[in-house]
Amino acid sequence: MTLLEPPSTTAPSRPAVRARNRRGRGRADRKPRVLIAVTALFFALLYLPIAVVALFSFNSKKSLTVFGGFSLRWYRAFVHDDVLLSSLGTSLRISLVAMAGSVVLGVALALGLVRCRTRLGSLAGLVMLVPLITPEIVTGVASMLLFKGLGVDLSTGTVMLAEITFSISYVTVILRSRVAALNPEVEEAALDLGATRWQAVRLVTLPALLPAVLASAVLIFALVFDDFVLAYFTTGVDPQPLSVRIYSAIRFGVQPTINAVGTLMLAGSVCLIALALFIPRLFGRRGGLDILSGE
Amino acid sequence: MDATPAVRLDGVSKQFADSYAVHRLDLDIEAGQFFSLLGPSGCGKTTTLRMIGGFSDPTEGSVQLAGEDVTALPPNRRNVNTVFQSYALFDHLSIADNVAFGLKRNGVAKAEIRQRVGEMLELVQLSGLADRGPRTLSGGQRQRVALARALVNRPAVLLLDEPLAALDLKLRRQMQVELKQIQREVGITFVFVTHDQDEALTMSDRIAVMSEGRIEQCGTPEDVYEHPASRFVASFMGTSNLMSGTYRGGAVALEGGPALPVGARTGIADGTSVSVSVRPEKIWLSDFEPGMSVLSGVIRETVYSGPTTTYLIELAPGVTLSVLEQNTARARMEDRWSGGETVEFGWRPEHCLVLA
């Protein structure tokens, strides 16, 4: 509060300032230590295991309990592990395809849901939310049974289909509020100036939605890349997505290489999520991820 | 003048659920005119404009532009452009690209686009801001961009949906004058929707006063103001002293008051309930001329507002008239009436309107 005072005022005596500061930090302003401790404990439980994984990824020994010194040994091992590398490639492919597919369909669905004001439309809007609350294992088992029932061999393709289906809801939830906030007169203005309906959407509506579209694309990429449950139930034997490959590897004894892979995945995901939160700011406005950032 | 109207609405209706937003509207708008659709909110003026623009399909009737039936054509195939109430600028494009949008869609050559956009920005005095984004502009500037973006396409008709409603009063007055000047300069037919009767009176060549989906009266500003065709028009256009009574033999007997001589009117049967309307500024308080109707009443209120003073004069219990007097150089402070005094007032017979 003293900062806000104009410097031109005659300086009050020091004791007076101190007294005011003390009064300013009254009972209500003091931070209760218990709450600080609980918060610290929460973060410790949340991040310590991850920190341990990250630390031991740099271990020079093979041990998972004794830290022998800093080394990039396990990262080198990962880079030369063809099976893990091919799984990484598979995961990247799945994530990219799922991202593209779910963004295209999700944006279209968001546009449709906001503009379709029939009863069937609002019903579709509710049904669309179901994947968000369905336990992922149920979605996973159901997808697997569906593919089996249809006689489709499980493969990278089936993982992509399942992931797209599952991710559309996220894109639509993020985009829907943005679409609803659009001024309908803007698209009408495009029509008025000679644009066809499709041109109006492409030249005016989509650019206005771009920040939210990019943000949701990055989010979907990160979610799909990290996904295990759905991938586990819908993947074929070879090649397997990275998360499934890691799980299989752990069953036969934990290799420290996994620590290195896990740390890399974590770093990648953190970067992507940060990017998703940052993109709307790049466009100088609030974007589609208000739900995530709590803003 | 060209015999084919720029816009013709032929029995146009728009029905929402079971109510009519616009009901069997017939309207001709001559080419080159500044035409206003005036009315309170919900009177159907914006719906009418949207049907001309192609954003709303009439339930019945037809819309013609320059003699061509366009009822079934989408907005992008009509030779009209719109200035939207929200301006509806494209925020991701620069001012110049906003203005160029329509020309690009219509395949105009690049060099010509650059030239026409430049000229148009000059006309609306925004030449220095061509590369800026719409978000960085003030309300008045955004309004000009919207105008330039529509006018640059040289439409046969420009539709304006309350374009000045979001501006503050001073800017609004300034834009009224500018819009009128621009319209004269480009010679394009303007169809202007507004709920502000002052705005319509100052800017228009012709005004259609609308109420409940119908046109109450269509005419020049002077017609509509001086000779309102209905009670609604008289009360909506400015202030009117509206008094109800019964017509009998050249006079209207007010309810609980005296009979006002209004002269013999053809077409009104004795015993008909009518409204009598006299504008406050048409009532005199002194220097009566022969032939005027002169009555007396008690001053109940005096409201001084700079150039004018308004008196509320009670003619009879429950019948109060508002009288507007100019505070001219000759009028002295001490000559002004004060409350409780009995005064004489009068009007010329032609200023006393009898509305069925």
* Burial class for B240, CB neighbours closer than 10 Å (0-12, 13-18, 19+): buried
One domain, residues B130 and B243 = no
The strand ranges marked E within A186-253 are: none
Mean pLDDT confidence for B286-312: 88
User: Residue A193: which of B54, B81, B85 has the nearest Cβ?
Assistant: B81
Residue B2 covered by a domain: no
Domain boundary among B173, B208, B231: B231
Q: Which residues of B touch A188 (CB under 8 A)?
A: 55, 75, 82, 84, 88
The helix (H) or strand (E) run that includes residue A198 is helix A197-200
Determine whether the interchain pair A192/B92 forms a contact, defined as Cβ–Cβ distance below 8 Å: no
pLDDT single digits (tens) B143-191:
999 999 999 999 999 999 999 888 888 888 888 998 999 999 999 999 9
Structure ipTM: 0.82
One domain, residues B283 and B175 = no
One domain, residues B327 and B265 = yes
Determine whether the interchain pair B92/A208 forms a contact, defined as Cβ–Cβ distance below 8 Å: yes
* Burial class for B302, CB neighbours closer than 10 Å (0-12, 13-18, 19+): middle
User: pLDDT at position B306, please?
Assistant: 87
One domain, residues B147 and B251 = no
Taking the CA of residue B70 and the nearest CA in chain A, the distance in Å comes to 14
Taking the CA of residue B192 and the nearest CA in chain A, the distance in Å comes to 16
Residue B76 covered by a domain: yes
- Residues 6+ positions from A95 with CB-CB distance below 8 Å: A163, A221, A224, A225
Q: Are strands B241-248 and B68-69 parallel, antiparallel or unpaired?
A: unpaired
Q: Which residues of A touch B99 (CB under 8 A)?
A: none
Mean pLDDT confidence for B237-264: 83
Residue B246: give the domain boundaries.
239-355
Helix, strand, coil abundance in chain B, percent, nearest 5? 30, 35, 35
Best residue in B46, B51, B89, B101 for a mutation probing chain A (most A CBs within 10 Å): B101
One domain, residues B253 and B158 = no
One domain, residues B227 and B243 = no
Residue B281 covered by a domain: yes
What are the sequence ranges of the domains in chain A? 84-293
Q: Which residues of B touch A208 (CB under 8 A)?
A: 91-92
The SS3 assignment for B144 reads helix
User: pLDDT at position B268, please?
Assistant: 80
- Count interface pairs A-B at CB distance under 8 A: 62
One domain, residues B254 and B303 = yes
One domain, residues B278 and B154 = no
One domain, residues B279 and B168 = no
Q: Which residues of A touch B84 (CB under 8 A)?
A: 185, 188-189
pLDDT single digits (tens) A39-64:
999 999 999 988 988 888 888 888 77
User: pLDDT at position A10, please?
Assistant: 46
One domain, residues B159 and B255 = no
Determine whether the interchain pair B85/A191 forms a contact, defined as Cβ–Cβ distance below 8 Å: no
Domain boundary among B212, B231, B250: B231
Q: Which residues of B touch A199 (CB under 8 A)?
A: 105
Residue B1 covered by a domain: no
Judge if pTM exceeds 0.90.
Answer: no
> Would you identify the CATH topology of the domain A84-293?
MetI-like fold (1.10.3720)
Query: Number of folded domains in chain B?
Result: 2
A214 part of contact set with chain B, CB < 8 Å: no
Closest C-alpha among B159, B194, B7, B10 to residue B80: B159
User: pLDDT at position A9, please?
Assistant: 42
Higher pLDDT, B329 or A209: A209
One domain, residues B90 and B161 = yes
Torsional sign, CA B213, B219, B225, B231: negative
Integer angstrom CA distances of residue B207 from B21, B82, B125, B191, B200: 19, 19, 28, 10, 7
CATH number, domain of B204, equals 3.40.50.300
A196 part of contact set with chain B, CB < 8 Å: yes
Mean pLDDT confidence for A179-192: 93
CA–CA dist A121, A105 (Å, integer): 16
One domain, residues B300 and B218 = no
